[in-house]
Structure formats: C-alpha cells, structure tokens
Structure 1
Amino acid sequence: MSATLSWLDLTSSDREKFRGILDLFSEQGTVDELGLGSLRDAFSDALFPGTSVLHTRLRYVLFVPWLYQALEHRGAGGDVVDAARKKEVELIDHLAATGEDGVIGVQARASLVRLPSSVYWFALSRWGTCVHQQE
C-alpha cells in the first residue's frame, strides 16, 4: 500500500516550506543521537558473539573454511587471494545451479565486489573456526 499526500498550493513561500518538510524524509543516514549504538553493539557481541544481521545463510560458515582448506591441501601457491576468489565464484555458480535461495552474489557472479568470505570472516575468527597462523 502506498501513501499519498496532497495539498493546496497557495503561495511560493508555502510551497518552499512544504518542500523543506519533504526533503527531511529523503535523508538516508541514521544518527545515534543518544550514543546507545556502542552499548547495543557491546551487548550484541556479548550475547551473540560473532553474529551480525549480514549472516543470513549459515551454510557459508561451512563453505568458506572448506574452500580455504581445499586451497591449503592443494597448495594454492603464489596468489591465494585470486585462487580463493575463483573458488568462491565457482561456489556461487554451483549454488545457483541447484536453485538455492539466498545465494550471495548470484546476480554479480565474477564481478562481485564483496565475497561471502568477507561477510563471514569475523564470525569464523571469533568462533575459532578459522585462525590466522603465523609462520
């Protein structure tokens, strides 16, 4: 259902006032005027560590580590970043071919900027699933 708004336009000053009011509705940003955002984030991380509203598909918590394990066992060699990107795009293609819902990057495919792994890295490291090892 869409909202409608109508008014009788009498003067140019009335029109400008009304346009100013309408411009207030077009602002896209949010403001944490009371400063409660950091408190909310602290509670969220304490109660649900590593989770985010971006995590809508739990399957990536398994797929991302499996991809990197496969690269490690195969010995990706030089450019792990490019090899991992290629594997993630292949994963998108496979999931899309099976008709799965909610596949990250199903429309952009190879031109995808934010890969599934970038969304899930924090959760994976927080839960101890993927750990960075120093050599």
Structure 2
Amino acid sequence: MKTAFHMIKPWDIIITIFLLILSLVPLSIFSFQQSKINAQMEDTEYVAVISVDGDELKRVKLTGHTGTEFLNIPEIKCTPKTVEIKDESIRIKSSTCPEQICVNTGYISKPGPSIICLPHRVVISVETIGGNIDDEVIISS
C-alpha cells in the first residue's frame, strides 16, 4: 500500500482536482438555464385547444382550473362527455375508436405532447398565453 502512495506526485493531485471541478461546470450551466426557464414560466397561462377536422372548436383555460369537468362537444363523434379536464390537465376519457390510442395517451398539461384521434379527426393540444417563453425552448417533464 505504501508503494502506491509513493507513486502519486503533487501534480497528479492538482490535475485530478482540476478535472473534478471542470466536470461540474456543465451541471452549473444547465441549472442556471433551467432556473431562467422556470422564472419565465411563472407568468405563463396554458390553454387547451380542441380541434376537429382542422377547425378550432373550443379553447379551455387550464391554468388555475381545479376539480373535474367533462366537456360534451357534439362535433366529436365519440361517446358523450368524452373530454375530461382534471385540475390543470386534459384528456380524452373514452372513445369509440378501435385502437384507443387517444385514450391511452392520458393527461396532457404542457405544450409539446398532443392527443390525436385519427378516426374522429380530433386534436387536443396545449398552447401558452403570456410569459416570455421562446418557441425554440424544449420543456421536458
């Protein structure tokens, strides 16, 4: 064991510490960027946009929504009260389409993912209103 310590030189320790500190630089940069994004998102409101055949039918404000609400939209040819808004998220609760992909998508609450039902031509997406979020920023959840 003593022979191993004799092989370590002072510059080995200095270089090791320098490389250790250098490896933490990306973490600090990404943390700083994420804090800026979070600060911008505080003033942002989220709105769900429900479209059928490319025509916008309804806009529902998600920010600040509490409780559970079911929307009955006659243009959507699924089961009655198919769209569910729970707290600050939205989903298609049930559908008559064969594969149920829109139902299995689950809740969405932020821009990015969309709920799409191809047989009924329904698209539900979330948009932002207000705030200073750039279109180029990708937000992961």
TM-score by length of 1: 0.30
Return the structure number with greater helix share: 1
Return the structure number with greater strand share: 2
> With CA pairs under 8 Å and 6+ residues apart, which has the higher RCO, 1 or 2?
1
